[in-house]
Amino acid sequence: MFIRNLTILLFLASCSATPLNFENIKFDDSFANIEKYELKKCLNNIPEEINLSDFELKLTAQNITSQGLEFNTKYVGALTLEVLNQDKIIRLQKMRMNTTNYISSNMADEERKRIKSLILTDICKTIKTHVN
């Protein structure tokens, strides 16, 4: 029983201690730490050296109902990708729509963070297609 639990513990510890290679990814000052972390996690072990810059996330409210209770929000995330070995500079942009019935609350803030994470994941997938 003890050996089985110890084996499971060692396996979990080795999985969490797996080294990740981020030395070939450079960011400018437009990225917050959470954004850098999400992109680094997604872009682990890409073969090329890349620079990521000019990150911005914009949102606009559209189609507010007459009661002002429900509206559509369009989120647009964009960044500039520079692949150094290929002499390639590309402006990447992804968009997500969200229909919500809360304008200012903690739920709206959490929803914004979730959509931002989804946009970063979409951008990461596009980066991988340009790098590989």
How is the chain split into domains, by residue range?
Answer: 24-131
Cα separation, 27 vs 116, in Å, equals 17
pLDDT at position 86 is 84
Close Cβ partners of 71 (under 8 Å, ≥ 6 residues apart): 61, 62, 63, 64, 65, 99, 100, 103
Which pTM was predicted? 0.74
pLDDT at position 12 is 61
Tell me the per-residue pLDDT of 24-63, one tens digit each, with 9 for 90 and over: 889 999 999 999 999 998 888 788 889 999 999 988 766 6
- The topology (CATH level 3) of 24-131 is Double Stranded RNA Binding Domain (3.30.160)
Cα separation, 79 vs 43, in Å, equals 15
Cβ atoms of residues 22 and 103 within 8 Å: no
